[in-house]
Amino acid sequence: MTELGLRLTVDGPVARVVLDRPDVRNAQTPAMWRALAEFGTTLPADVRVVVVSGEGPSFSAGLDRRLLMGEQADGEEPLLALGSKPAAEVHATIAGFQAGFSWLRRPEFVSIAAVQGHAVGAGFQLALACDLRVVTPDARFSMREPALGLVPDLGGTQPLVQLVGYARALEICATSRWVEAAEAKELGLANIVVPADELTATVKDLSDALLQPLAGAVRETKALLLGAADRSYDDQLEAERKAQERRLKELLAALG
């Protein structure tokens, strides 16, 4: 995938996604999103942690500016060209883009974004697609789409509201302002802020810690937490009971 500006690798229980276009601050293209979606569907079943990072000083500056400015990029149509197509085609195309992000929410593994420098637009949404975010002091987030007359459409709106609340999420999106690392930590966007020279080691320590519990326990717990906001308290209690039943039966089967 290097010709697309991606490095996608699997090393035992850890998969890695590296945006590798440092000359353009890891700007993204639809081809990259399609490749990410395919990577997600072909992950081995024993993958338990996915780490997403960017090569160079920036995580991702968002969609390739050529596509925003009405130009073609690597054979891709300008984004505005979608506006001339039938609604069903627009929806199907955007759904394909979203698939490059949404697989990171699946409960089979825990996803970690290692963020330094810019995380703008699609870059911000890619970080939000991950379960956890480890950032450096120079990390800067901005949801730039509204400033361009667009909406965030790569799955970033729901996790943003879940992390910071509706009012703060609206303010961040509607103003397209920068959220610096310290504020991101305060708001809950970032789990931890570490010096740049400690980013790789911190992400590895976190990955190792996530690999310690049994895979089934982490999978069931993530699924419980992901669905908690959409359930009533009684429904959540029922979901916990069913999840625990599955865990007990799996543990018992492993002993026998």
User: Looking at the annotation, which residues are catalytic?
Assistant: 145
Q: Both ends of the chain: CA-CA distance in Å?
A: 44
DSSP E strand stretches across the chain: 6-11, 14-19, 49-54, 110-115, 118-120, 132-135, 140-142, 179-180, 192-193
Sign of CA dihedral 89, 90, 91, 93: positive
Structure tokens that stand for 155 in this block: 């799955």
Helix axes 157-164, 122-129, angle to 10 degrees: 70
Helix extents (H) in 122-210: 122-129, 157-164, 166-175, 181-187, 199-210
User: Per 3-state DSSP, what percentage of the chain is helix, strand, and coil (rounded to 5)?
Assistant: 55, 15, 30
H-run or E-run covering 91: helix 87-102
